[in-house]
Amino acid sequence: MTFIAPRVADKKDWLSGETGDWELIIGLEVHAQVASKAKLFSGAPTEFGAEPNTQVSLVDAGLPGMLPVVNEFCVEQAVRTGLGLNAQINKFSRFDRKNYFYVDLPQGYQISQFEFPVVGEGEIEITPEGGEPVSVGIERLHLEQDAGKSIHDLSPDETYVDLNRSGVALMEIVSKPDMRSAAEASAYVDALRQIVRALGTCDGDMEKGNLRADVNVSVRRPGGELGTRCEIKNVNSLRFIRQAIHYEARRHIEILEAGGSIDQETRLFDNVKGETRTMRSKEDAHDYRYFPDPDLLPLELTDDFIAKIKADLPELPEARKARFVEQYGVPAYDAGVLTADKATGDYFEAVATGRDAKIASNWMMGELFGALNNAETDLADSPISADALGGLIDRIADKTISGKIAKDVFGKMFAGEGTADEIIERDGLKQVTDMGAIEGFVDEVIAANPDQVEKAKQNPKLLGFFVGQVMKKSQGKANPQAVNELLRQKLGL
Strand 96-99 and strand 92-93: the pairing is: unpaired
Integer Cα distance of 183 and 219 in angstroms: 16
Strand 122-126 and strand 134-145: the pairing is: antiparallel
Q: What is the DSSP letter of 118?
A: S
Q: Would you say 249 and 217 are in contact if contact means Cβ atoms under 8 Å apart?
A: yes
Longest dimension (CA), the chain: 98
Report which of 361, 293, 275, 283 is spatially closest to residue 324, judged by C-alpha positions. Answer: 361
| Four-residue CA torsion sign, 215, 142, 136, 335 | negative
Q: What is the pLDDT of residues 158-188, one digit of tens each?
A: 999 999 999 999 999 999 999 999 999 999 9
Q: Where in the chain is the domain with CATH 1.10.10.410?
A: 435-491
Complete DSSP assignment for 275-295: EEEEEEEPPPGGGGT-EE-TT
Among 213-222, 285-294, 376-385, which is the least confidently predicted range? 285-294
What global pTM score does this model have?
0.83
Integer Cα distance of 94 and 70 in angstroms: 11
Amino acid residing at 390? G
Mean pLDDT for the stretch of residues 467-487:
75
User: Phi and psi at residue 331, in whole multiples of 5°?
Assistant: -60, 155
Integer Cα distance of 174 and 168 in angstroms: 19
Angle between helices 450-458 and 480-491 (to 10 degrees): 80
Return the beta strands (E) in 146-201 as ranges.
Answer: 149-151, 160-162, 169-175
Angle between helices 403-414 and 386-397 (to 10 degrees): 160
134 or 472, higher pLDDT: 134
| Four-residue CA torsion sign, 103, 107, 110, 114 | positive
| Four-residue CA torsion sign, 300, 306, 309, 315 | positive
Integer Cα distance of 225 and 164 in angstroms: 43
Q: Where are the alpha helices (DSSP H) in 339-462?
A: 342-352, 357-363, 369-374, 386-397, 403-414, 420-427, 435-448, 450-458
Q: What is the pLDDT of residue 4?
A: 47
| CATH class (in words) of the domain with range 435-491 | mainly alpha
Q: What is the pLDDT of residues 231-285, one digit of tens each?
A: 999 999 999 999 999 999 999 999 999 999 999 999 999 999 999 999 877 666 6
Complete DSSP assignment for 222-270: TTS-----EEEEEE-SHHHHHHHHHHHHHHHHHHHHTT--PPPEEEEEE
Q: What is the pLDDT of residues 436-446, one digit of tens each?
A: 767 777 777 77
Q: What is the pLDDT of residue 3?
A: 44
